[in-house]
Amino acid sequence: MNKPYLDFLFHPSSLAVVGVSPDTTRPNLALRFLQSLSKSGFKGNIYPIHPAGGEINGFKVYPSLRDVPGNVDYVISAIPARLTPKLLEDSAAKGVKAVHLFTSGYSEIEDVVGKGLEHQVLKIARASGIRIIGPNCMGVYCPETGLTFSADFPGQPMFPSIPGPLGLISQSGGNSMFCIREATGRGVYFSKLVSYGNAADLNESDYLEYMTEDPDTKIIGMYVEGVKDGRRFLNTLKKAADFKPVIIYKAGVTESGARTCASHTSSIAGSAGTWQAFLKQFNAVQVNSMEEIVDVSLAMLKLPVPHGRRTVVIGTGGGAGVIAADDCTQAELSLPLLPSDVRKKLNAIYGTEAGSMFRNPVDAPPMASVESYFEAVKTLADSNAIDIVMMQFSLDIWGMAYRGDIILPFIDVVLKAAKYVTKPMPVVLHNCATPEARQLAAEVQEKFVKAGLAVYPSLGSAARAMHKYLLYEEERKRRGLQGR
Amino acid sequence: MNKPYLDFLFHPSSLAVVGVSPDTTRPNLALRFLQSLSKSGFKGNIYPIHPAGGEINGFKVYPSLRDVPGNVDYVISAIPARLTPKLLEDSAAKGVKAVHLFTSGYSEIEDVVGKGLEHQVLKIARASGIRIIGPNCMGVYCPETGLTFSADFPGQPMFPSIPGPLGLISQSGGNSMFCIREATGRGVYFSKLVSYGNAADLNESDYLEYMTEDPDTKIIGMYVEGVKDGRRFLNTLKKAADFKPVIIYKAGVTESGARTCASHTSSIAGSAGTWQAFLKQFNAVQVNSMEEIVDVSLAMLKLPVPHGRRTVVIGTGGGAGVIAADDCTQAELSLPLLPSDVRKKLNAIYGTEAGSMFRNPVDAPPMASVESYFEAVKTLADSNAIDIVMMQFSLDIWGMAYRGDIILPFIDVVLKAAKYVTKPMPVVLHNCATPEARQLAAEVQEKFVKAGLAVYPSLGSAARAMHKYLLYEEERKRRGLQGR
């Protein structure tokens, strides 16, 4: 199979980091790039560049790009904008294929100088066939090749990072970093990620085309402030969304948000209504936060397609049940009253009299045996009246006094239930307030994630993710686009 | 000053815990009550009751309430519902003032037997002047007297718990426990709290009247599923809300949520629209989660009244800024473009060229010195164009590599800035994804809370809290009800 165009961005065989000062006493972002690449196991040659020369972290520093003895595919620029036209000329002379301009100070600033510099840099790139990532962005993260922009992305083992099915295209570097941490903590790993800033040359449509063709990318996530070429983006998105799920967080939906897009990445935000309409038209999944990109991806990756919206919630606490019912209903799932035969079985399992705790949500008695919890989940999962079995846990409502005798055995029984249940079974692990409970919640989450469960931080986030998953699949079916 | 009626619920001089089985090999909720009371330093006499007698945890167990040698003010019942009419008779004989029925299985269950039992118990109580808390609830938490229903509520020192200004009236025990943990972790402590379940005797209006008159309660929070006596509640709420802030989370706003209210506490939920209208009419603050009760209380307790909605956000990251701008605007705060003199000052402080990072939100350069951050905050706080200075921190966007050389010095400078800034300055500490970052965030939060700062888990939660605080105060002013 032919590699999709732009594959060279993610698989450079050698790269230069420009601006790595040998003065390590001052904060030095170029040095962070160098350290990240070296720690994350980037396999090609790495050449630090700085006029002062010398040596750093075991690497020889070259005074200029032209002084590098070997071939250079890819350049990371962390020098001031005014010096970048010269760098582009050097790159052209050296036969560089791609320049990532971490550098900012171009069209996103108020000064005309910035716009002029962006124009100048672009002109040299166009003339020499160099493609530009950015400017004003964090660039590429590709776990497979070890190309990265931060050394401490989590993962087991931490370096090299683990590749996965999510491709992320993000106009913001910080938001993409947040998304990486949130996703990997919940067992969703990345094929490729690009933080692309001002998009002076390569833009959202180029990256979207690439991710659509990239066989390693199964789901595409996007954080967008604005698009460079609206017509092209519409065509590209239509093709992409027919082929793979595309989950889009369009930020800058308010007036001051839109103004901030302009100052952040010189983007024209576009009206919220227009975006909503065309995302719907193409069956792209619209979300409202970076977390929600992870929430929906998680549902699509870890859970089977639900047959419908009929959800049962099993948890502990009547008040939590009331909130759960509101949350599910507001997310357009339905919470049917459980059929009386199911309720009778639950009463028999728990040895309770005809009670109201099993109407739906199911308020599992906290002091009952873990075996009865398992039997209850089985009963719910077996019922024809139910499409989705949602579990919720609030570890610190139990209290840490219950850690050993209740909480830990419960966790094991959830893992056992997960093996039995074939319907989608999202697990909600509520945020905890106390440090001890947070620590325990982190351990529990790790266990759940390792077992392949889809873990959500709140009932609302799980319910919204299931709703959007359902909407997406229903619409595909309606369009005759079954299977992915 | 006269003690308000119902003060005896919170200050019993002696109490009995009924149902404490000497068989400690089985989960035993009555025993948990006993342990909680003894650990939290309850000052009065505690008498465990069980037909088996014997001794437990150093306490002599009495076979029946009538066998207790001394006076008993207050009874906690953790025995099956069918045994409670007898317990009420014993209580009447013993001169008990209040019975807390932790016991469930009354009007909230489907069976007519439950409704009959509730009626029977109530009849005995009415005839003997006993007041009932519940049934089907966790009861009273009063840090001052050590009356409590869970042993491991946090606080420094943990036992006895620390009293504070928030009074909470909650129909759900679990939700009240969540709220206690969330609030105390953010430096908000409780005067009194009551989880009141079915409200067969004492109901929402009784507790609300008490909290209104209680001098220790400065702000009243409520979690309500439904009310027993609508007309009385309207009158009580009107009086209360004129006198103190009343923050109400009305749950069960959807159809299945309302059904769950009925099965949880036999409540009739009422329409969401009606609730919204009358809460607005009385200037009660309507919120949509337990967390938000804490969010709004925190603003009212720790921050001065803002002069207006003009907010500046200072944080790190352009993408975070875009989201912050959307969040603030959606919460009806305004994010004005900073005046050019302020931006000039910021440029001078950071030694940057005329840039776009300082339009608002202010994207503070992450590698700049902490002194410049302090100067920047000062400049923003001094500006006449700004009413609220909002700080946001995403510790794990920085990455833990930056812990020592950037994050910790930043924390100190925030504390320094807090001493300088007289305008409201909410601090947003975003949730972190990695275990190390969570750990660090917990440490940072503790430092901030100790220094009296109002810490929020997200920009949205801080913005909504400020908006509701403003609405409340503006409406009070409009009504000529200034000062509290």
Residue with tokens 């893992």: A415
Residue B25 pLDDT: 72
Parallel/antiparallel/unpaired status of strands B131-133 and B45-49: unpaired
**Beta-carbon separation of B356 and A175 below 8 A:** no
pLDDT at A2 over 90: no
Sign of CA dihedral B235, B240, B243, B246: negative
Q: Is A356–B319 a contact, with Cβ atoms under 8 angstroms apart?
A: no
Is pLDDT of A160 > 50?
no
**In terms of Cα–Cα distance, which of B326, B402, B295, B316 is closest to B363?**
B316
- pLDDT averaged over every residue in chain A: 90
Residue A457 has what pLDDT? 93
Return residues 308-327 of A near B (CB < 8 Å): 316-326
Residue of B nearest to A29 (CA): B367
Residue contact B354–A111, C-beta within 8 A: yes
Number of neighbours of residue A5 by Cβ within 10 angstroms: 12
CA distance A373 to A48: 59
What CA–CA distance (Å, rounded) separates B68 from B61? Answer: 9
A163 bridge partner residues: A190
Structure tokens at A130: 């160099």
Between strands B98-101 and B311-315, the pairing is unpaired
- Say whether B27 and A406 touch across the interface (CB within 8 A): yes
Asked if A177's CB is within 8 angstroms of B353's CB, the reply is no
Question: DSSP assignment, residue B129?
Answer: T
- Tokens 């002379």 locate to A93
Distance CA A196, CA A101 (A): 9
Contact (CB<8Å) A171/B360: no
d(CA A477, CA A437): 43
Q: Is the pLDDT of residue A355 over 70?
A: no
Find how far residue A231's CA is from the centre of its chain.
26
Integer Cα distance of B260 and B254 in angstroms: 10
Among B32, B102, B263, the strongest candidate for a mutation testing the A interface, having the largest count of A CBs within 10 A, is B263
- 484 residues of chain B, pLDDT tens digit each: 578 999 999 999 999 999 998 877 766 788 888 988 888 888 899 999 999 999 998 999 999 999 999 999 999 999 999 999 999 999 999 999 999 999 988 888 777 888 999 999 999 999 999 999 999 999 999 999 989 887 555 443 333 478 999 999 999 988 998 898 889 889 999 999 999 999 999 999 999 999 999 999 999 999 999 998 889 999 999 999 999 999 999 999 888 888 888 777 777 777 888 899 999 999 999 999 999 999 999 999 999 999 999 999 998 788 889 999 999 999 999 999 999 999 999 999 998 765 568 889 998 887 788 899 999 999 999 999 999 999 998 877 665 556 666 778 888 999 999 999 999 999 999 877 777 778 888 889 999 999 999 999 999 999 999 999 999 999 999 999 866 5
For chain A, say whether B273 makes contact (Cβ under 8 Å).
no
Query: Could you say which DSSP state residue B327 is in?
Result: H
- Helix H or strand E segment including A246: strand A246-250
Indicate the SS3 state at residue A16. Answer: strand
Cis omega (within 30 of 0) on the bond before B215? no
- Please tell me the predicted confidence (pLDDT) of residue A149: 85
Write down the CATH number for the domain with range A304-478.
Answer: 3.40.50.261
Sign of the alpha-carbon dihedral angle for B341, B344, B350, B351: negative
CB-CB under 8 Å, B326 with A251? yes
Dump strand ranges (E) for A343-456: 362-363, 388-393, 427-429, 455-456
B33 token code pair: 């009550």
How many other C-beta atoms lie within 10 A of the C-beta of residue B478? 9
Asked if the model's pLDDT at residue A48 lies above 50, the reply is: yes
| CA distance to partner chain A, nearest, from residue B295 (Å) | 13
**Contact residues on chain A for B434, CB-CB shorter than 8 A:** 154, 181, 185
Q: Which residue has the tokens 């789901």?
A: A219
Beta strands A388-393; A311-315: pairing state = parallel
Task: Supply the pLDDT for residue A356.
Answer: 60
CB B47 within 8 A of CB B62: yes
Report the residue count for chain B: 484
Tell me the backbone φ, ψ of residue A126, rounded to 5 degrees: -60, -40
Contact A320 B172 (CB under 8 A): yes
Please give, rounded to a whole number of angstroms, the shortest distance from the CA of B70 to a CA of chain A. Answer: 31
**DSSP-assigned beta bridge partners for residue B334:** B310
> Which has the higher per-residue pLDDT, A155 or A363?
A363
- Do residues B357 and B363 touch, judged by C-beta distance below 8 A? yes
pLDDT at A152 over 80: no
DSSP tally for chain A: helices H, then strands E: 17, 18
> B7-133 domain in CATH 3.40.50.720?
yes
Q: Say how far apart CA A444 and CA A428 lie, in whole Å.
A: 11
pLDDT, tens digit (0-9, with 9 covering 90-100), for A95-114:
999 999 999 888 887 778 88
Instruction: State pLDDT tens for residues A198-248.
Output: 999 999 999 999 999 999 999 999 999 999 888 999 999 999 999 999 999
Q: Which run of H or E residues covers position B98?
A: strand B98-101
Where do we find the tokens 């000529």? B480
Decide if B78 contacts B19 (C-beta within 8 A): yes
Using CA atoms, how far residue B250 sits from A303, B172, B225, in Å, is 33, 12, 6
Measured between beta carbons, which residues in chain A are less than 8 angstroms from residue B367? 27, 29
CATH 3.40.50.261 fits B162-301, yes or no: yes
Query: Which residues from chain A sit within 8 angstroms of residue B174, using beta carbons?
Result: 316-320, 394, 397
Domain spans of chain A?
7-133, 162-301, 304-478
Q: If pLDDT is split at 50, 70 and 90, which confidence band does A484 have?
A: low
Q: Which amino acid is at A400?
A: M
8 A C-beta contact, residue A121 and residue A84: yes
Amino acid, res. A316: T
ipTM, 2 dp: 0.90
What percentage of chain A reaches a pLDDT higher than 70?
94
Nearest chain B CA: its distance from A150 CA (Å):
8
Domains A7-133 and A304-478 share a fold: yes
Minimum-distance CB partner of A329 among B256, B355, B397 = B256
CA–CA dist B138, B197 (Å, integer): 8
- For the entire predicted model, the pTM comes to 0.93
pLDDT of residue A158: 39
Q: Across the interface, which of B320, B337, B396 has its CB nearest the CB of A181?
A: B396
Chain B residue whose CA is closest to A106: B355
Q: Does B263 touch chain A (CB under 8 A)?
A: yes
- For the domain made up of B303-478, the CATH class stated in words is alpha beta
The residue among A27 and B352 whose pLDDT is bigger is B352
CA dist B338 and B176 (Å) reads: 42
Which of A108, A150, A330 faces B399 most closely, judged by CB atoms? A150
Q: Which backbone phi and psi does B72 adopt, to 5 degrees? A: -130, 120
Instruction: Summarize pLDDT for A405-463 with one digit per residue, the tens.
Output: 677 888 899 999 999 999 999 999 987 777 777 888 888 999 999 999 999 999 999 99
**B321 to chain A: which residues are within 8 Å by CB?**
260, 264
**CB of A351 less than 8 A from some CB of B:** no
Closest residue of A to B460, CA-based?
Answer: A289
